[in-house]
Amino acid sequence: MPLPKCWWAGPAEYPNSRPETFRDPCIFVYLRSLHLRHFRNYRDQGITFDAPKTILVGENAQGKTNLLEAVELLATLRSRRASRDRELVYQEEHQAQIAATVERLGVAHELVMELRSSGRRSLKVDGHVLRRQADFLGQVNAVVFSSLDLELVRGAPEARRNWLDGVLLQLEPVYLGLVEQYRQILKQRNALLKQDPKDSVPLTQATAGDQLPQMAFWDAQLATTGSRIMRRRARLLQRLQPLAAHWHRVISGGRETLTLTYRPQVPLPDPQASPAVIQAQFLAEIRTKAAAEHSLGSSLVGPHRDEVELCINGVAARAYGSQGQQRTLVLALKLAELELIEQVVRDPPLLLLDDVLAELDLHRQNQLLEAIQERVQTLVTTTHLGSFDAGWLKAAQILQVQGGQLFPDKTGDGIP
């Protein structure tokens, strides 16, 4: 199913209601199989998923996270751990492949991603090589929840921006192009700010009849592309806010209120304002920071400096939240993300739980179980099955991960 172009189109098209709990199973997108060749520590390993829940159990450094990372790459084209494709390719090899069969409306589709230690990726859907990477997005959607996600609360603003971007990429594949364009513009503008000041005349100083100075050109580019990113992030947070607040209330037993607030560098009194209004504000903010930007040699205004404030009962969770509150918050954010993707795409995304389930107490495990029920295909990694709720173990497919290989776990105790 193609993704809607404008997913926030309005309440009539995408009602903000809770999804039905049980739906016709044939409409689900289902990751049926996965085949990894020379990917991370996997040489050549196939896997068929035959239950809605798969538990990957194994000791440290065996390849559990690597497998989830492969699925995350199919969903977002990004890995949170690797900055370059070279890291994803088996050490002695030059090329890796992730192949998957995804079932949608009962029809199987073949997805292939080829990664090279030097060179570009290639992406195929049903044997056709895609010209644009963005066309691959939306074939599989996934919500990843790992111990890294505590960074969402505790970490620097970049963690929260990356989270927003990861969700937006899945909801609206054109966002990939926007982010890439913005990155290039920022690079050029920063290079210019570091150059001789006579090349860097701010927009305000450009007089009629002047040849448009380079800096003014990059200011305008930054404002145009930056505003488009900001509007999307602002809308995303508006949609996530009620969902996250709902889950946070449920998990905290109604005692706490969560608020997510978008804090861009450019004041946005009305995120729904027209692009022209936001761009004008953006340029005005650049003018006020012009002197500082020139002396620092870097761009201080724009979505690359956005922040998202997470507050529990009006108090910043980053500084004051207890560990338990922070865990509850991250779980609420992840459930909100899952629910929003499900509302927009009309299919539940895959849920990838990397080493987090055992860290949740039984109450939170049950909240999660209840929220996802049978309709969300879930891959879970763990080093031991002991702390799992019986509900998780009952109908799950359990696989043992050992040195980049998978074995069926027959005993149910994690020992092959």
Contact positions vs ligand ATP (CB under 6 A): 40-41, 58, 60-66, 87, 89-91, 355, 383, 401
Closest by Cα among 90, 81, 107, 302 to 188: 302
Map residue 195 onto helix, strand or coil: coil
d(CA 165, CA 222): 18
Nearer Cβ to ligand ATP (41/139) = 41
State the binding partner of 33 from Mg ion, ligand ATP, none, CB within 5 to 8 A by kind.
Answer: none
Stretch that binds Mg ion, among 21-29, 62-70, 328-336, 371-379 (CB under 5 A): 62-70
Residue found by looking up tokens 């998957």 in the block: 100
Residue found by looking up tokens 């449920």 in the block: 250
d(CA 363, CA 346): 28
| β-sheet bridge partners, residue 113 | 98, 123
Neighbours of 318 (CB within 10 A): 18
Nearer Cβ to ligand ATP (64/248) = 64
Residue 37: CB minimum distance to ligand ATP, A: 12
State the binding partner of 63 from ligand ATP, Mg ion, none, CB within 5 to 8 A by kind.
Answer: ligand ATP
Tokens of 115: 């990664």
Tokens of 333: 């954010």
State the binding partner of 348 from ligand ATP, Mg ion, none, CB within 5 to 8 A by kind.
Answer: none
Residue 239: CB minimum distance to ligand ATP, A: 32
Nearer Cβ to Mg ion (320/407) = 407
d(CA 91, CA 394): 37
Position 65 contacts Mg ion (CB under 5 A): yes
Name the residue number minimizing CB distance to Mg ion. 65
Nearer Cβ to ligand ATP (47/401) = 401
Residue 339: CB minimum distance to Mg ion, A: 26
Residue 92: CB minimum distance to ligand ATP, A: 8
Residue 356: CB minimum distance to Mg ion, A: 11
Q: How far is CA 295 from the centre of its chain?
A: 34
Tokens of 305: 């400096």
